[in-house]
């Protein structure tokens, strides 16, 4: 199926590995022009090389720490100077500290918001003018099912991402007349380095093997397993595509059925 995004310019952040990397890969397969970014220069360069598949695809990369406003501005300057526009903005971030509210302090909240909320506002604001001019745009916010169903030790994620959910719905109304569609994707448990780190920490804290933790989580999921980064990327690519031209202001959970509510 032709998804109609050939030659569209895509920026996916936090993309040297995990969900962001898989999203970049899926967009390249649709022949979109792709820019990726993460903090570590070496990692993002390696990711760009790997995504390029020996020159089959051209991948633009820039190292930038989303927690630093000046890095985010430089990232947007570099991408906009190179491509002239961003047609599809996929706002993905690193994951925050996992803790309960009473275990967090001011620095933790600030770090979480600096990395997960403020750069999303900056990037979105910089991408909108060209989308408006072109009367075409897609903004996809990567959040989490924790927005819908908070979990133990997920307070920073739930708090920062709930703000993004509100932004997503607001923007979908504000930008609809310019044919800019705005949606959020809420991934459920997906097997990436972040899930590996979280299960390893739980395993250590509880003194049980990682496999036991993994099985417990998989049992909560009707499909009986973690998702893959590619499965999340498929949903993002669909929402970015021309086939999703009547979908805006939506929140799509991609979680193997883990959320129990009806809507
Ligand atoms: N995996 C899941 O089950 C799941 C479910 C729901 C939501 N999420 C959320 O989805 C996001 C991506 O998760 P993932 O599983 O793909 O994690 P991952 O595999 O650990 O990858 C994280 C990516 O973020 C980059 N990154 C981290 N901090 C950054 C920063 N300050 N500035 C720029 N880039 C940064 C990392 O590269 P560098 O180290 O080079 O910066 C890496 O590319 C996270 O916010 C996570 O909480 C994940």
Is there a domain that residue 259 lies in?
no
Q: Are residue 205 and residue 119 in the same domain, yes or no? A: no
Is there a domain that residue 3 lies in?
no
Per-residue model confidence as pLDDT tens digits over 65-81? 999 999 999 999 999 99
258 lines ligand 1 (CB under 6 A): no
Confidence of residue 3 (pLDDT cuts 50, 70, 90): very high
Output the CA 194–ligand 1 centroid distance in Å: 7
At 1 the pLDDT is 86
Is there a domain that residue 180 lies in?
yes
Q: Are residue 132 and residue 201 in the same domain, yes or no? A: no
Q: Are residue 124 and residue 202 in the same domain, yes or no? A: no
Domain count, the chain: 2
Q: Are residue 30 and residue 143 in the same domain, yes or no? A: yes
Q: What is the CATH number of the domain that holds 158?
A: 3.40.50.720
Output the CA 91–ligand 1 centroid distance in Å: 11
Q: Are residue 233 and residue 214 in the same domain, yes or no? A: no
Is there a domain that residue 244 lies in?
yes
Is there a domain that residue 165 lies in?
yes
Is there a domain that residue 235 lies in?
yes
Backbone angles phi, psi at 138, to 5 degrees: -135, 130
Tokens of 260: 């129990």
Domain extent, residue 203, equals: 191-226
Among 185, 192, 196, 213, residue to substitute to test ligand 1 (most atoms within 8 Å of Cβ)? 192
Q: Are residue 172 and residue 119 in the same domain, yes or no? A: yes
Q: Are residue 101 and residue 83 in the same domain, yes or no? A: yes
Is there a domain that residue 140 lies in?
yes
Give me the sheet containing 251-254, strands edge to edge: 59-63, 33-38, 9-13, 88-91, 137-142, 180-187, 251-254
Q: Are residue 139 and residue 14 in the same domain, yes or no? A: yes
Per-residue model confidence as pLDDT tens digits over 214-233? 999 999 999 999 999 999 99
14 lines ligand 1 (CB under 6 A): yes
46 lines ligand 1 (CB under 6 A): no
pLDDT at 240 over 90: yes
Q: Pick the atom of ligand 1 nearest to 17's CA.
A: 43
CA–CA gap between residue 239 and residue 235 (Å, rounded): 6
SS (H, E, C) the chain: CCCCCCCCEEEEECCCCHHHHHHHHHHHHCCCEEEEEECCHHHHHHHHHHHHCCCCCCEEEEECCCCCHHHHHHHHHHHHHHHCCCCEEEECCCCCCCECHHHCCHHHHHHHHHHHCHHHHHHHHHHHHHHHHHCCEEEEEECCHHHCCCCCCEHHHHHHHHHHHHHHHHHHHHHHHHCEEEEEEEECCECCHHHHHHHHHHHHHHCCCHHHHHHHHHHCCCCCCCECHHHHHHHHHHHHCHHHCCCCCCEEEECCCCCCCCC
Question: Mean pLDDT over residues 84-104, rounded?
Answer: 97
Q: Are residue 184 and residue 124 in the same domain, yes or no? A: yes
Q: Are residue 61 and residue 177 in the same domain, yes or no? A: yes
Q: Are residue 176 and residue 149 in the same domain, yes or no? A: yes
pLDDT at 255 over 90: yes
Q: What is the pTM of this model?
A: 0.98
Q: Are residue 32 and residue 81 in the same domain, yes or no? A: yes
Tokens of 45: 């360069």
**Nearest CA-CA partner of 182 in 121, 218, 139:** 139
Is there a domain that residue 260 lies in?
no
């Amino acid at each position: 199926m032709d998804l109609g995004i050939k030659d569209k310019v895509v920026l996916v952040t936090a993309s040297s590995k995990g969900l962001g990397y898989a999203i970049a890969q899926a967009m390249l397969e649709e022949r979109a022009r792709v820019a990726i970014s993460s903090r570590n220069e070496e990692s993002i360069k390696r990711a760009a090389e790997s995504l390029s598949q020996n020159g089959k695809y051209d991948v633009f990369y820039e190292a930038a720490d989303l927690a630093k406003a000046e890095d985010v501005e430089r990232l947007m300057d570099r991408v906009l100077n190179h491509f002239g526009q961003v047609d599809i903005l996929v706002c993905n971030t690193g994951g925050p500290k996992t803790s309960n509210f009473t275990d967090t302090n001011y620095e933790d909240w600030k770090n979480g918001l600096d990395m997960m909320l403020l750069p999303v506002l900056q990037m979105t604001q910089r991408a909108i003018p060209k989308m408006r001019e072109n009367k075409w745009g897609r903004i996809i916010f990567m959040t989490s099912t924790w927005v819908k169903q908070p979990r133990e030790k997920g307070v920073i994620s739930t708090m920062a991402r709930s703000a993004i959910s509100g932004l997503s719905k607001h923007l979908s109304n504000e930008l609809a007349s310019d044919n800019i569609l705005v949606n959020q994707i809420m991934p459920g448990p997906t097997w990436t380095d972040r899930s590996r780190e979280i299960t390893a920490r739980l395993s250590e804290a509880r003194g049980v093997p990682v496999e036991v933790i993994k099985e417990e989580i998989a049992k909560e999921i009707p499909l009986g397993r973690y998702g893959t980064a590619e499965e999340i990327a498929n949903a993002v690519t669909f929402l970015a595509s021309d086939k999703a031209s009547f979908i805006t202001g939506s929140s799509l959970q991609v979680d193997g059925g883990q959320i129990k509510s009806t809507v």
